Amino acid sequence: MARLTGSLGCLAAMAIMAGLQAPARADGEPDFVTIGGGGFDVNDNETAAQLELQFRLNNRFWIFKPQVGLFVTSEAAFYAYAGILTDVFFGRRLVISPSFSVGAHHEGDGKELGGPLEFRSAIEFAWRFDDRSRLAIQGGHISNASIYDANPGTEFLMLNYSIPTDVFSR
C-alpha cells in the first residue's frame, strides 16, 4: 500500500505541474500508438521480458488524456488496462508523462499479483523528435492496493517508442 500511496503522490505532483504548463505546447499534439519492450518484475526474482502496446488519445479531460493498453510477458502473463495520463513539457523536447490505469491481469506462468484487478501507475521520460514521435524510458508499479489478501506488487521498466497518428481522430 505504501508503494501505491507514494506513486499516487508523485502523480498528483506531476498533474499540478502539468496544469502550469504552457497550453500551446500540448494543443497540437496528436494521438499516439506506443510500442515498448522491457522487463516485468524487475524488482524481484521472477523477472520476465515484457512487450507492450498502448493507444494514447489527445481527447482532453482537463489536463488528462485517455490511454488504453495491454502487455504480455515471456512467462505468458497478460494485462489489459485503461486509464489517464498527462504530458508535462520542458521546452520542445523533454516530455514527462505520469499515468494511472486500472486493468485485468492474468499471471500465466509468472508472478502471482494477488488477483485479477490490478492498478498501474507509471512515469515516462521522453525525448520528442521534430516529427512529434517520442523515444522514452518508462518505469512503473502494478499492485492491487490490498483489495485482496496478498498484494506483492511489482515494478516494470520499459523502452517505449510513440508514433504520432491521426487514425483515432478522423
Interstrand relation of 88-90 and 78-85 (parallel, antiparallel or unpaired):
unpaired
The sign of the dihedral angle between the CA atoms of 37, 42, 48, 53 is negative
Structure pTM?
A: 0.82
What residues contact 132, with CB distance under 8 A and at least 6 apart?
A: 29, 30, 164
Q: Is 119 exposed, middle or buried (0-12, 13-18, 19+ CB in 10 A)?
A: buried
Q: What does the mean pLDDT of the chain come to?
A: 87
pLDDT at 27: 53
pLDDT above 90: residue 74: yes
pLDDT above 80: residue 20: no
The sign of the dihedral angle between the CA atoms of 88, 9, 146, 114 is positive
Q: Are 59 and 81 contacting, i.e. CB atoms less than 8 angstroms apart? A: no
Give the phi and the psi of residue 12 in degrees, each rounded to 5: -65, -45
pLDDT at 169: 72
pLDDT above 50: residue 78: yes
Alpha-carbon gap, residue 152 to 143, rounded angstroms: 7
Domain limits, the chain = 2-165
Mean pLDDT of 7-24: 45
What is the band of 168 on the pLDDT scale with cuts at 50, 70, 90?
confident
Residues 101-114 have pLDDT tens digits of 999 999 999 998 99
Mean pLDDT of 121-148: 97
* Buried-exposed string 65-96: b where 16+ CB fall within 10 A, e elsewhere: bbbebebbbebebebebebbbbbbbeeeeebb
Alpha-carbon gap, residue 15 to 99, rounded angstroms: 9
**What's the farthest any 2 CA atoms get from each other in the chain?**
48
CATH for 2-165 is 2.40.160.20
Residues 21-57 have pLDDT tens digits of 433 344 578 999 999 999 999 998 889 999 999 999 9
pLDDT at 141: 97
The x, y and z cell numbers of residue 34, run together, are 506506443
Alpha-carbon gap, residue 106 to 121, rounded angstroms: 18
Percent of the chain past pLDDT 90, that is, above it, reads 74
Count other Cβ atoms within 10 Å, centred on residue 51: 15
pLDDT at 28: 74
